[in-house]
Amino acid sequence: MIKPHGSTSLNPLFVYDTNRNDELQKEAGSLPSMMVSSATAANAVMMGAGYFNPLTGYMNKADALAVAENMHMTNGVFWPTPVLNLIENASPVGDARRIALRDPNVKGHPVIAVQDIEDIEELSDEQMATMTEKVFGTTDTDHPGVAALNSQGRIVVSGPIEVLNFSYFSTEFPDTFRTAVEIRNEIAEHGWQKVVAFQTRNPMHLAHEELCHMAMQRLGCDGLVIHMLLGKLKKGDIPAPVRDAAIRKMVELYFPPNSAMVTGYGFDMLYAGPREAVLHAVFRQNMGATHFIIGRDHAGVGDYYGAFEAQEIFSRIPEGTLDIEIFKADHTAWSKKLNKVVMMREAPDHSKDDFILLSGTKVREMLSNGEAPPKEFSRPEVAQILIEYYQSL
């Protein structure tokens, strides 16, 4: 199986030993505690689950700025985006060297992790702006990722963590949330050698489904991991349980048995376009995928990124940095000429009118009215699940 990024074996930060976990829970009650941001809690989940291997905790200021500048930590480890515990006020920490981190997304705010504090530093406005610009390509606060990062504070609390739970992801999505450890184990159980991963934060229409089939066939993969985001999204995105139901129905009906896994991970979307595409590739390698589909405007939002910037960034990563391989995809759509789904770049003799293309606004309007999109756009069984959701609003 493909090795994890940055180490020979996966090193999840979740405390699996029940006695040790209980000890830490008790210790946390006597430690100073800090309510962290949703993004910081999600980072803890990703480190606990092994997706962020080989990180051992939250970065310090030097590492965060180095990662923003050149995608390498100061020790030389490749990493595409800062992973930070940012706060507005350090007074609750005092002179403590150990602190309990409380989860903002779960009732009662239980302790999600215990952190050893190595340093407490402050980012200047200039440093914050530089980091924002390098990661997101913009400092525009209308960008949801920029707004989320810059709302957390300027104080960097760095140091290793031990993770005690997986927040709401394991309880609200028990059939879908999987750690990188669990996915690696499932891949091994299936006996898959070549595995392609597909990222989604939306339900999968026919074009997405066919793209997965194309990738599997062209790469010679014996397994597909559909890996959906279960964390915080932007306003208007379809809730995870609805996406989950729609995707499971599609896999049940239109993929051969033992060929596709439907899974999810706990993370707050950054919408960082190219940088987030690289991050997605890193944690897909950590979960055992050998290949990863990067499509048009991967992890983008609005008009902040070029259509293929998320693919082009991989050409700037030194060879050998990552073992996972990228399957570069174009927009896929139904061709009226060929009577099947194709990648648009592979149909040079087509005009826009030769494809069935529907805007997101038009699709939402149809579904809200109880009308299924054409069969060339969406499987009827998937459309029915989405119709029921939109009509319940």
Q: Which residues contact 319 (CB under 8 A, 6 or more apart)?
A: none
Q: Please report the DSSP string for 276-310 in residue order.
A: HHHHHHHHHHHTT-SEEEE-TTTT--TTSS-TTHH
Q: State the DSSP H helix or E strand holding residue 265, giving kind and residue range, or none if neither.
A: strand 260-265
Task: Give all strands of the β-sheet with 332-335 in edge-to-edge order.
Answer: 340-343, 332-335, 355-356
Catalytic residue among 202, 218, 286, 316: 202
Q: Does the annotation count 20 as an active-site position?
A: no
Q: Does the annotation count 105 as an active-site position?
A: no
| Domain coordinates in residue numbering, the chain | 18-170, 175-392
pTM over 0.75: yes
Distance, CA of 115 to CA of 376 (rounded, Å): 51
Using the Cα atoms of residue 361, residue 367, residue 372 and residue 378 in order, give the sign of their dihedral: positive
Tokens of 347: 């149909």
Q: How confident is the model at residue 15 (pLDDT cuts 50, 70, 90)?
A: very high
* CATH of the domain spanning 175-392, picked from 2.40.128.20, 3.40.50.620, 3.40.50.300, 3.90.1580.10: 3.40.50.620
Q: How confident is the model at residue 286 (pLDDT cuts 50, 70, 90)?
A: very high
**CB neighbourhood size of 108 (10 A):** 6
**For residue range 229-241, what is the model confidence (pLDDT) as tens digits?**
988 666 777 888 8
CB-based contact 254:216 (threshold 8 Å): no
Residue-level pLDDT at 145: 96
393 against 26, higher pLDDT: 26
Residue type at 77? V
Q: Please report the DSSP string for 94-133 in residue order.
A: TT-SEEEEEPTTSTT--EEEEEE--EEEE--HHHHHHHHH
Residue-level pLDDT at 237: 76
Tokens of 1: 């199986």
Q: How confident is the model at residue 68 (pLDDT cuts 50, 70, 90)?
A: very high
Residue-level pLDDT at 374: 94
Question: If you average pLDDT over every residue of the chain, what do you get?
Answer: 95
Place of tokens 């405007």: 297
Topology at the third CATH level for domain 18-170: Sulfate adenylyltransferase (3.10.400)
Distance, CA of 233 to CA of 242 (rounded, Å): 14
Catalytic residue among 154, 201, 248, 364: 201
**For residue range 92-114, what is the model confidence (pLDDT) as tens digits?**
888 999 999 999 999 999 999 99
